Structure 1
Amino acid sequence: MARLRLPVLLAAALLGLGAAPSSAAATTATASYVVNLGGNIIANAKFRFIDDGSAYSLSLDANVSGVAQLVASGIAKVDSSGAITDDGLRSNSFDLLTRSGGDEFNIRVQYQKAAVTAFVIDPPIANNIDRIPIERKQLSGVNDFLASFIRKGRLDRSLCDYRAKIFTGVERFDLNFSFAKDDVATSKRTGYQGPVVLCNIKYKPIAGHYTTSEITNSLAQDDRILIWFAPLGDSGYAIPYRVLLTTSMGDLSMVLTSLN
C-alpha cells in the first residue's frame, strides 16, 4: 500500500487546481492528467472542480497501473470541500481512499478556520521510533493538499509568491513556491497551448514523516521540483499544466491532457 499511496499523494499534492479571483457565477471544470514515473506511465488522473461563489468542492479519481517494483496497481479517490475566502480556498473536509490488492487505506481530516479539529487514519500507521511525532501546535494555519493549490492572483510571478502549509492526515509539511520564469506551452499533444508561469517548489518536512524515509529525504534535498500554471479559459482560474519532480524511483511527471 505504501508503494501505491506515495505516488498518488505526490501527484495529488502537486496537481490541485490553482485559482485567480473568484466570481459569484458558478464555475465547473474538469481536467485530466497523465502521470509518468521513471519513464513509465503509472496513472491517469481526473479532477473535477466546482465553485458556486461561496463554497467549493474538488475531487480526484486516479487509476494506478502497477509497474515492476515502482508502484502497486490500484485506484485512488480524493475529495476536498470547504469555503472560498479572500485568500483562496479553505478546506473543511478532506478524504483520501486508496484500494490495492484487496486492501484499503483511508484518511479523513476535518478543519475549522484553518485548524485541524479531527483526523482518522484507517488502518493506523505505525509510530516507529524514527517517525517524527505530530504536535498540536503544528495543526493550525494549515490546509489540505488539494485546497492548498487554489490561489487568488494573476498569471504572473505573484502566483509563485506563496507558502503552502499542508496537513495530509499522515504528514505535516510546507511547500515554498518561488518564481522561475514566464514560459509558453506549445505541445499539441497536451490539453493547452499558450502562456504559462513556472514556479520552483521547495519541500520542507515538518512532522509525521520517517527520518529513514528515502523519498522524504530525497524530496527535502531536491532543488528541481517544478510546476507550470496555465489559465483556465477566461474563468479567472489557473490550473497546473505540468509538474516535474525527482524521486528515488525516478522523475515523477504530470501533464495536462484535456481540459473542459
Structure 2
Amino acid sequence: MFARLALLGLALTSFAPAAEAQSALKTEYRISLIGLPVGRASFETRLSPTRYSVKGQLSSAGLAELVSSTRGTSSVSGRITGNRLLPERYRLQYTSDKKSWRADVRYRNGRAVSSDIAPPAQNPPPSDFIPVTPSQLANVVDPLGGLMIKPGSDPAAICRQPVPFYDGWSRLDLVLSPGDGEQDFQADGYSGKAIACNARIRPVSGYRTSSNGIKFLQGRTIQLWFAPIGQSGIYAPVYVRIPTQVGPLTLTATRFAKP
C-alpha cells in the first residue's frame, strides 16, 4: 500500500523548484502516515531559459521499511514555452515487495506520443477496464513536473484549474479548487506564505471501474500547498495531504533550497 500511495504523492510533489538560468535546486520531502515516518523523497531540478530537467528518488523508511522495501527513481526533461513547461520524455522505475514497474513516455507539444511500460496493460483487458483513447492524450502533463504552475498575475489562479496527468498507464485529472487561503510555511531554504488548494481525483481512462483505490479517492479531498519559487513566477507544492483508509498520508518539504 505504501508504494501506491507514495507514488501518488510523488506525482503531486515530485519536482524541485525552478530557478534562475543555468541553476540547480534541490527539494527533500518527509513522507508520513498517520504521523509516523514511512518514507522520504528528494529531487533536483536544472533549468535554463528554454530547457528543464528533473531527477528524483523515493524510498521507504521507518515503520514502512519493516513491512516492505520500496525504491523508486523518476526523471523528466522538456522545454519551456511562455508559461508552460512541456515535457518531452518522462521515465519512472520502482520496486516494492519484489514487484517492479517501469515507464518511458514520450511527449510532443503537450501530447503523449508513445509509451513503453512494464508490466504492460492486460490483453484482453478486464470487462470493466476503461481504455485510454488517442484523443485523451492531447494536452497532458507528466506526473513529475506537472504541478509546476505559473499562474500569472493572480497566484490564486493556481487553485482554479485541472491538471491532466498521463503516466503511460492511466489518464486522470487532478481538479484543483480554492482551499484555506494562504498558510505560513517554513523549510530549509524557504520561509513565507503558501497557497492552500483542495483537489479531487477525476479518473479519465486506463483504470478498472471496480478498483477500490479509485473509488475511495474519488470521494475524498486532497490538500496541496503551493509556494513561490523566488522571482520566477512559478509555484510548486511544499505540502500534500492524501486521505487513505488507515489515515492521512502527508508529504512535507523539509528542504527547498540550492544543493
TM-score of Structure 1 vs Structure 2, range by shorter chain: 0.7 to 0.9
Q: Distance between the aligned counterparts of 1:57 and 1:256, measured in 2?
A: 19
Q: Distance between the aligned counterparts of 1:179 and 1:8, measured in 2?
A: 24
Partner of 2:119: 123
Alignment of 1:1-260 (within 5 A): 3=1, 5-17=3-15, 25-65=21-61, 67=63, 72-126=68-122, 127-153=125-151, 156-185=155-184, 190-191=187-188, 192-222=190-220, 224-260=221-257
The TM-score, its normalising length taken from structure 2, stands at 0.87
1:193 CA drift (Å): 3.0
Going from structure 1 to structure 2, the CA distance change for 1:125 and 1:71 (only over 3 Å counts) comes to farther
Going from structure 1 to structure 2, the CA distance change for 1:186 and 1:159 (only over 3 Å counts) comes to closer
- Give the percent of matched residue pairs that are identical in Structure 1 and Structure 2: 27
For the aligned residues, what is the CA RMSD?
2.5
Q: Distance between the aligned counterparts of 1:220 and 1:70, measured in 2?
A: 30
1:71 CA drift (Å): 7.2
Structure 2 SS opposite 1:247: coil
1:116 CA drift (Å): 1.4
Going from structure 1 to structure 2, the CA distance change for 1:232 and 1:159 (only over 3 Å counts) comes to same
Comparing 97-106 with 41-50, greater Cα deviation is found at 97-106
Structure 1 SS opposite 2:208: coil
Task: For residues 95-148 of structure 1, give each alpha carbon's deviation from its aligned partner in whole angstroms, at most 9, with x where no partner exists.
Answer: 110023544320111111111111111122433223211112211111111221
Task: For residues 67-100 of structure 1, give each alpha carbon's deviation from its aligned partner in whole angstroms, at most 9, with x where no partner exists.
Answer: 5699732211011111111232111111110023
Asked if the contact 2:9–2:242 (Cα under 8 Å) also holds between the matched residues in 1, the reply is: no
* Letter in structure 2 aligned against 1:207: S
Give the aligned length: 253
Comparing 37-46 with 194-203, greater Cα deviation is found at 37-46
1:159 CA drift (Å): 2.0
1:44 CA drift (Å): 0.4
Q: Distance between the aligned counterparts of 1:84 and 1:139, measured in 2?
A: 20
1:15 CA drift (Å): 0.5
1:175 CA drift (Å): 1.0
Structure 1 SS opposite 2:130: coil
Going from structure 1 to structure 2, the CA distance change for 1:44 and 1:19 (only over 3 Å counts) comes to closer
Asked if the contact 2:38–2:65 (Cα under 8 Å) also holds between the matched residues in 1, the reply is: no
Task: For residues 175-229 of structure 1, give each alpha carbon's deviation from its aligned partner in whole angstroms, at most 9, with x where no partner exists.
Answer: 1112224323256xx434321110111210011112121211111111x211111
Alignment gaps of 5+ in structure 1: none
Going from structure 1 to structure 2, the CA distance change for 1:50 and 1:246 (only over 3 Å counts) comes to same
* Letter in structure 2 aligned against 1:165: P
Q: Distance between the aligned counterparts of 1:5 and 1:255, measured in 2?
A: 17
Q: Distance between the aligned counterparts of 1:227 and 1:68, measured in 2?
A: 23
Q: Distance between the aligned counterparts of 2:27 and 2:158, measured in 1?
A: 20
Going from structure 1 to structure 2, the CA distance change for 1:105 and 1:71 (only over 3 Å counts) comes to farther
Going from structure 1 to structure 2, the CA distance change for 1:218 and 1:209 (only over 3 Å counts) comes to same
Comparing 50-59 with 229-238, greater Cα deviation is found at 229-238
